[in-house]
Amino acid sequence: MPSPSPSRLPVLPISEHEDEIVAAVEANPVIVVIGETGSGKSTQLSQILHRRGYTRRGAIAVTQPRRVAAVSVSRRVAQELGVSIGEEVGYAIRFEDRTSEKTKIKYLTDGVLLRESLSNPELKQYSVIILDEAHERSLNTDILLGLMKRLIKHRASDLKVLITSATLDGLKVSNFFSGCPVLNIPGTIFPVEKFYSTDRPTNYIESSLRTAIDIHVKEAPGDVLIFMTGKDDIDKMVSKLEERIQNLEEGSCMDALVLPLHGSLPPEQQ
């Protein structure tokens, strides 16, 4: 795989800890990496280990709890490395496998990795397995944690496992893996201000809608990201936002493009 040029390499907090991470991986079969959102753990850990030679004897698998994340993060890594998706960098989700014999960094959902373990219990095709966003604590993630604990007993000499999260209790995971090291990666790439509602909303969809409209009308141009609980609420919010913006007084604000994002959308719309 060609090395990424400096112009394509993002400057992220995790980059400053590359030597520390590699030293911990070299000395231990399992490590826990706690990194704040924006630290770069999802996109950079696999590249760091690839750059340091960990793909010479197997591929790097990086699990994601959702299909949209597996696809989008793999595309970002491929872009940074200047390669085509499906070659050196690829992804595998339900009903879609964009990998090849050349693939060295593979992003996949935790469910796909579990299915692979049924036909290949020792997952010999991988030299590194990264369980990303482990704080999600889905059933699949919990099963994978148990699988990794068993697997490392048989492959302690040729497999490295990294458990990563933004909010996970690193000590509990460390104890589960017999006291493995916990690395904390501080810092984000931009300042974040938090504002809390003074009222408890009776209808959180309507409350979120009013807040989004208020920001759109009063604040400088930019993007607004609204988290909802599921597809139905996302669809309701999109419909209500489009209607509300259309009914605003002409000239009172700029036009807005309202887009949904959830795992049920086809890949080209995500």
Quickly tell me which residue has 């959308």 as its tokens. 265
Q: What is the pTM of this model?
A: 0.78
Give the DSSP letter string of the chain: -PPPPTTT----GGGGGHHHHHHHHHH-SEEEEEE-TTSSHHHHHHHHHHHTTTTSSSEEEEEESSHHHHHHHHHHHHHHHT--BTTTEEEEETTEEE--TT-SEEEEEHHHHHHHHHH-TT-TTEEEEEETTGGG--HHHHHHHHHHHHHHHHSTTT-EEEEEESS--HHHHHHHTTS--EEEE---SS-------SS--S-HHHHHHHHHHHHHHHSPS-------SSHHHHHHHHHHHHHHHHHSPTTSS---------TTS-GGG-
Looking at residue 253, its pLDDT comes to 65
Q: Are 164 and 130 in contact (CB under 8 A)?
A: yes
Q: Are 130 and 45 in contact (CB under 8 A)?
A: yes
Looking at residue 267, its pLDDT comes to 66
Q: Per-domain residue ranges for the chain?
A: 13-185, 204-269
- CATH code of domain 13-185: 3.40.50.300
- For the chain (270 residues), the mean pLDDT of every run of 10, in chain order, is 50 90 97 89 96 97 92 95 96 95 97 96 97 86 94 93 87 92 82 84 91 89 92 94 82 78 77
- Could you give the dihedral angle defined by the CA atoms of residues 184, 185, 186 and 192, in that order, rounded to the nearest 10 degrees? -120
CB count, 10 Å around CB of 139? 10
d(CA 111, CA 197): 37
Looking at residue 7, its pLDDT comes to 43
